[in-house]
Amino acid sequence: MSKAQDLEKNWYSILGATPSDDLQELKQRYQKLVLMFHPDKQKPGLSEEEAGLCLQRFMDVDQAWKILSNQESKREFDLHLRAHELKQSWPVDACVMLEDMNWDSENKSYSYSCRCGGDFLLEKEDAQDGEDAVVCCDTCSLSIEVKRAT
Ligand SMILES: [Zn+2]
């Protein structure tokens, strides 16, 4: 998954899974891999390097399952992954200053018109977290990067 290159670790790819897999599928993948890489299950005569790699995989698989089997940490990771994928793979159409967006006091959000006629919407809370944000059009696949004045 080249999209996720910059993630520290993509727990889904470690399990050979995708974010749409349900818990049961994740569990099956985990159980299969954890047996495959378990230090006690390795053939005798592995080189130190091979054994080290297996151990690393084993720990990754174990960690992936810990994160993805827990509803809360899974949700957190899903958000993280999604934010990351937006940055990586969505065409960024433009950089927009937050100040140039229209404040919609009714919806408590900033909006900006896309050239397709749709809107980019940025929730107030998201605008306040102090980081540049990538916002998707609500109609097409374009996104904009929202910058704030420094
Ligand atoms: Zn659009």
Tens of pLDDT along 19-34?
Answer: 889 999 999 999 999 9
| pTM, full prediction | 0.55
CATH code, domain with 131: 3.10.660.10
- Please report whether residue 83 resides in a domain: no
CA of 25 to the centre of ligand 1 (A): 35
Residues 101 and 53 in one domain: no
Average pLDDT over residues 32-41: 92
Co-location of 8 and 63 in the same domain: yes
* Structural domain ending residue among the three candidates 48, 77, 106: 77
Dist. CA 119 → ligand 1 center (Å): 6
Report the CATH number at residue 73.
1.10.287.110
Q: What is the whole-number distance in angstroms between the Cα of residue 140 and the centre of ligand 1?
A: 4
Whole-number pLDDT of residue 1:
37
Same domain, 11 and 71: yes
Span 74-97, pLDDT tens digits? 999 998 888 777 666 556 778 899
Q: Which two tokens stand for residue 14?
A: 């470690």
- Distance in Å, CA 63 to ligand 1 centroid: 39
State the distance from the centre of ligand 1 to the C-alpha of 93, rounded, in angstroms. 9
Q: What is the 3-state secondary structure (H, E, C) of the chain?
A: CHHHCCCCCCHHHHCCCCCCCCHHHHHHHHHHHHHHHCHHHCCCCCCHHHHHHHHHHHHHHHHHHHHHCCHHHHHHHHHHHHHHHHHHHCCEEEEEEHHHCEEECCCCEEEEECCCCCEEEEEHHHHHCCCCEEEEECCCCCEEEEECCC
Could you tell me if residue 82 is inside a domain? no
Q: How many domains does the chain have?
A: 2
Tell me the C-alpha to C-alpha distance, in Å, between residue 85 and each of 7, 39, 138. 10, 34, 17
Same domain, 99 and 49: no
Tokens of 12: 């889904």
- CA 111 – ligand 1 centroid, Å: 12
Same domain, 19 and 47: yes
Q: Is the dihedral of CA 6, 71, 33, 61 positive or negative?
A: positive
Asked whether residue 56 is domain-assigned, the answer is yes
Domain final residue, candidates 28, 49, 77: 77
In a domain, residue 43? The reply is yes
Domain holding 113, by residue range, is: 91-147
The Å distance, Cα 46 to ligand 1 centre, comes to: 55
* Residue 86: inside a domain: no
Say if 70 falls within a structural domain.
yes
Report how far residue 119's alpha carbon sits from residue 101's, in angstroms, rounded to the nearest whole number.
Answer: 11
Report the C-alpha gap between 20 and 139 in whole angstroms.
23
Distance CA(93)–CA(7), nearest Å, equals: 23
- Does residue 57 belong to any structural domain of this protein? yes
Please tell me the distance between residue 117's alpha carbon and the centre of ligand 1 in angstroms: 6
pLDDT at res. 87: 66
List residues bridging with 113 in a β-sheet.
119
Cα of 95 to ligand 1 centre, how many Å? 14
Structural domain contains residue 26: yes
